[in-house]
């Protein structure tokens, strides 16, 4: 795994998820994951992923996130 930070008695989150996914596939089941809620940046990404039109709440959340990032970048 790329950029893995696992140790002898500690597995990084990426490796834990990878093992969980592999086990679920072997058992023939799907992982139950929460759907990203509208009005969040993750919700905006979900709309883009599924090629859906983005709702206004997601657009606002994305806009706020970008503006916050730009302010933080300018402050450095």
CB atoms within 10 A of CB 61: 20
Residue 59 lies in a domain: yes
How many domains, the chain?
1
Residue 75 lies in a domain: yes
What's this model's pTM, rounded to 2 decimal places?
Answer: 0.57
CB burial readout 16-46, b (16+ within 10 A) else e: eeeeeeeeeeeeeeeeeeeebebeeeebbeb
Question: For position 1, what pLDDT does the model report?
Answer: 41
Residue 57 lies in a domain: yes
Confidence of residue 3 (pLDDT cuts 50, 70, 90): low
Residue 24 lies in a domain: yes
Domain that holds residue 37: 10-76
Span 13-59, pLDDT tens digits: 677 777 777 887 788 777 677 778 899 999 999 889 888 889 999 99
């Amino acid at each position: 795994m790329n950029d893995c930070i696992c140790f002898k008695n500690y597995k990084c989150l990426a490796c834990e998820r990878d093992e969980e996914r592999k086990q679920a596939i072997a058992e023939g089941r799907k992982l139950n994951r929460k759907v990203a809620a509208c009005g969040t940046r993750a919700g905006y990404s979900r709309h883009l992923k599924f090629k859906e039109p983005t709702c206004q709440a997601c657009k606002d959340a994305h806009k706020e996130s970008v503006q916050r990032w730009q302010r933080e970048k300018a402050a450095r």
